A and B are shown apart, each in its own frame.
Chain A
Amino acid sequence: MLDLLRRRSTPLSTAALILVSLALLVTNSRGGQRVDPLGVVFLELVTPIADLGTRISSTLTHTWSSYVDLVGARQEREWLRARVRSLEAEADAASAIASENTRLRALLGLRDTLPTSAVAARITGAEASGLFRTATLNKGRSDGVAEGFAVIAGGGVVGRIVATSPHASRVLLLDDHASGVDALVRRTRARGIVEGGSQAGCRLKYVKRREDIRVGDKVITSGLDGIFPKGLAIGEIVQLSEEEHGLYRTAEVRPAVEFAKLEEVLVVEPPSREVPPPPTQATVASGESGG
């Protein structure tokens, strides 16, 4: 009998355990008091491991959530950066348009005051070598621009046209050493010639020694050179020469126009080149009677 039990121990013990389980299940399913003889033991034994597992699990979950949040934040940051760049570009464009609008209005206002015709042009390039002070304009002979025309901006004198092609022209800037403009000191009407190539930008020369000129005096065009209309700003005297003798005085002049920041200019036909209107009968008659 014992031998049989020993040989059948596994099926018998399994059957016994099945019956125990079934009994447990039936007992606990009836809704009465819970019968759980090993539960407390298992809880005590496994809880430390379960606690560790929970900690690992929550750490992993937290790490994963942080990573997901980080990825989300990174994407959002990239999106916001792109948006900021886009808005900055729009703001820059709007600012540039507003600035251009202001400049063009100023040019338009200036053109209305000029006695001769003028063509608006855009500066498309500067002197590449750096040895000369010139700039390229996008208007040429086909637009009515010719050599010797004055170039001005809202601030004042820019230079004069020295070369033209059908659709472009080159302007010699006021501060080039080859430039020369007949000028007046606005306060005292002292006359001189403004030339380029000095440290300050330009130099007022050939002012009679007895003339009263001071630092801060505004220098304007005299209109006598036949190129620039009278009264345009050339610059401001920033330094007087130290020479005590000689017939003339010299002064350093800072140009009124910032050439590096120029974008639009007006090309003005010289007053002397204007074709005079055809004489009428009355003027001919009066001329004859006067002469």
Chain B
Amino acid sequence: MRAFLLFALAGAIAVVLQTTLLEQVSFLPAAPDLIVVLCVYLGLHYHSVGGATGAFLLGYLLDTFSGSPPGLYALAMTLVFALVYLVSKRLWVENPVTSVAAVALGCGVKIATVVAYFALAAPLNVGWLSLLRTLFFEALFALVLSPFLFSALDANLRAARQAKRPHAIE
């Protein structure tokens, strides 16, 4: 439950950051995609129905606040979770490099999903170059920030577990 609340809060903050604060930073060509980092984290550490649902809900949350058709980011983030989950079950040494590689994989999945959507289902108003540029920078900033986000999540989850332990003993 604590993990769920933590991810819910992290997701809300990430969405708010992506859609408000970081959008205002005029020198950034795009806001970093923090939601994809959260989904990758779920894919790496939560191999459960909860993890999958969390990724879906985070994507849906992004759909709600980004103005995309409902389902687009929900699909993309669920696919990100699925792929990271599948890969993480077959490799496994976990370190910061593999985590960043997983984020890169997640970003690739998301970009592929969005591009496929615009290629197949919707007219593109902004131009392909602009779209790809935005997606590229979103992914790049997500890659840069992912080690910090992973550390923050690790620390918070560890703290949540430690807080839970005395109750378990009782």
Contact = CB atoms under 8 A, between A and B. Distances in A.
A18 B71 contact: no
A14 B109 CA distance: 15
Contacts of B56: 17, 20-21
Contacts, number: 112
A50 B53 contact: no
Interface residues of B, number: 39
B17 interface: yes
A49 B70 contact: no
Nearest to B59: A21
A30 to B, nearest CB: 9
B53 A13 contact: yes
Interface in A130-183: none
B102 interface: no
Nearest to A58: B24
B52 A39 contact: no
A224 interface: no
Contacts of A10: 47-49, 51-52, 85
A56 B20 CA distance: 9
B65 interface: yes
21 contacts: A10-B47, A13-B53, A21-B56, A21-B59, A22-B71, A24-B71, A24-B75, A25-B117, A34-B70, A36-B70, A38-B70, A42-B60, A42-B64, A43-B64, A46-B61, A49-B12, A50-B20, A53-B20, A56-B21, A57-B23, A61-B24
Interface of B: 12-13, 15-17, 19-21, 23-24, 47-49, 51-53, 55-57, 59-61, 63-65, 69-72, 74-75, 78-79, 81-82, 85, 117, 121-122
